[in-house]
Structure 1
Amino acid sequence: GLVRFNGETWTVYNTDNSGLPSDQVTALLFDEQGVLWVGTGDGLAKFDGETWTVYTTENSGLPFNPISELVFDTQRNLWIGTGRFYAYGGGGLAKFDGKTWAVYTKDNSGLPGNQILALALDLQGNLWVGTQFLDGVAKFDGETWTAYTGDNSDLPYAPVPALTFDAQGNLWVATYGGGLAKFDGENWTVYNTRNSELPFDNLLSGLVFDGQGKLWIGTGGGLAKFDGETWTVYNKVNSGLPDNWIWILLIDTQGNTWIGTYLGGLAVYREGGVILTGVQE
């Protein structure tokens, strides 16, 4: 289900007590009006604080019900990645302007694969798409698709579960099995366990920059921080991190780093190097 925490009280929303279409929540995004958009394993939901609106393949142009990622572009269109972890059939990328749906697949566009894992916008407003399997990363400028794979670039052959951009416009790519890659528009730089202090090559959905421009990286072997030169690694042994398998990261408006783990619940890192013990059910 979905949990809301106001600093003191926890509120749980699930399929039994709300209009949430599935208890498997995969993506969260607020729009400019404060409406929450929720990607789930069984469709897209919108929650304005009182009313739930659900979009599925049966009542909308959504191409596939399992949602992987959500992002708004500069024109306030909602882009929806679908098909995460589904090996065969389904998937695709959808754009929703609040009324009209547009669907992109590998059959009707330059999208290299239908199983979408990650979405991100660059400084020019181009949409970047990370895919599952070996389909790589694609850029879409609204008209033209440009695909980067292990065949035509130095991007590692691996699924791409997370994408983000730094203040200089460099693309950072988390891969599952191939480490971390940086793309400056021309050249790729790859960081892995063999050439850096990255603790593990399996990266999940944790890839975020803090206010000081440092990159936080969630891996299957702990939490890493990289300032472009120096690596700092946090794990169960050297910190209060409750689990080394990091699922997702988020930095709040106070600069706290929230860490979602696979088995250790939720943890938060605060300035001063304190990682609070994970919160579990």
Structure 2
Amino acid sequence: TTEGLLVIDNNTWDVYTSKNSKLPSDKIRKIIKIKDNILIATSKGLVKYSNDFEVILSSDKNGIIDDDFISMSVDHNNVVWLGTNSGLYSFSNNIWRIYNTKNSELPNNNIWDIVIDGEGKKWIATKRGIITIQDDQWVLFNKKNTPLKTNTIKSLVYDDYDQIWVGTDKGVVSFDGEDWKKHKISHKKALVTSLFIDDFDNKWVCTLKDVIVYNIDGVEFKNNISAQNSVIVSK
């Protein structure tokens, strides 16, 4: 959350903050388990948890330009990829590297989401399209070479059928490796803030107005979730 890390264990709730733990920030961006450790991306660095919190990548510790990590993913080689508003970081064996518009083919330094597909390809969501990275080959997808209606990519998710789902400031599209498909949304101006796939392969799409759910075939359920028809108190 933005107010610390909530841990639930056997119906016991514990809240860890920068005041009662070694967390550098109360703003928790993302949590991933890697091997026997838990990685926590915060607004002030990357934290590893194994019996205790330890900052392993930050401006103070490593001298990096930006340690407000917005997004995080781990590839098949256990390399950690981190997105900031100043570029993309890779981190492995205490060695970090930054990629930005000056030293790479990134179209923009705002890295809003990162996913790894079944082949180990990195999909990077930016303000100016999607960039993929595999074996040092960079490929850009944007309005010029795809049916995307916008270059503002807010969220990405990879499903069990090798499809990439893309959340933009103008709705949702999916890509199966060959074809792009736009998915209908009840309201036109749908800024997608996040995407999630459940155990039944339903796609949950969070927008500024409501939560939209697509079934396994990509068909939108009729009754979307909003503050008017659910226990949601805030959008």
Matches within 5 A, 1:1-281: 40-48=1-9, 50-75=11-36, 77-83=37-43, 91-109=44-62, 111-132=64-85, 135-175=86-126, 177-204=127-154, 206-236=155-185, 240=186, 244-263=190-209, 265-276=210-221, 277-281=223-227
Q: Structure 1 168/208 Cα, relative in aligned 2: closer, same or farther at 3 Å?
A: same
Could you tell me whether the CA contact under 8 Å between 1:181 and 1:190 is conserved in 2? yes
Q: CA deviation at 1:241?
A: 6.3
Cα-Cα RMSD: 1.8
Separation of aligned partners in 2, 1:170 and 1:249: 19
Alpha-carbon distance in 1 for matches of 2:188, 2:160:
24
Unmatched segments (≥5 aa) in structure 1: 1-39, 84-90
Partner Cα distance (1:269, 1:241) in 2: 15
Looking at structure 1, the residues matched to 51 and 152 of structure 2 have their Cα atoms a distance apart, in angstroms, of: 36
Residues in 1 aligned to 2:217 and 2:94: alpha-carbon distance in whole angstroms: 46
| Secondary structure of the corresponding residue to residue 94 of structure 1 | strand
Sequence identity (%): 29
Measure the CA separation in 1 of the matches of 2:109 and 2:94. 26
TM-score between the two structures when normalised by the length of structure 1: 0.75
Q: CA deviation at 1:243?
A: 5.8
Secondary structure of 1:161 counterpart: strand
TM-score, normalised to structure 2, is 0.89
CA contact (8 A) 1:243 1:262 kept: no
Question: Secondary structure of 1:279's match?
Answer: coil
CA pair 272-73 structure 1, distance change in 2 beyond 3 A: closer
Runs of 4+ in 1 over 4 A off after TM superposition: 240-243
Q: Between Structure 1 and Structure 2, how many residues are aligned?
A: 226
Alpha carbons 2:211, 2:226 under 8 Å: kept: yes
Deviations 1:15-46 (A, max 9, x none): xxxxxxxxxxxxxxxxxxxxxxxxx1111111
Question: Comparing 245-254 with 107-116, which one deviates more in the overlay?
Answer: 107-116
Aligned-pair distance for 1:158?
A: 3.0
Q: 1:280 to 1:251 in 2, by over 3 A?
A: same
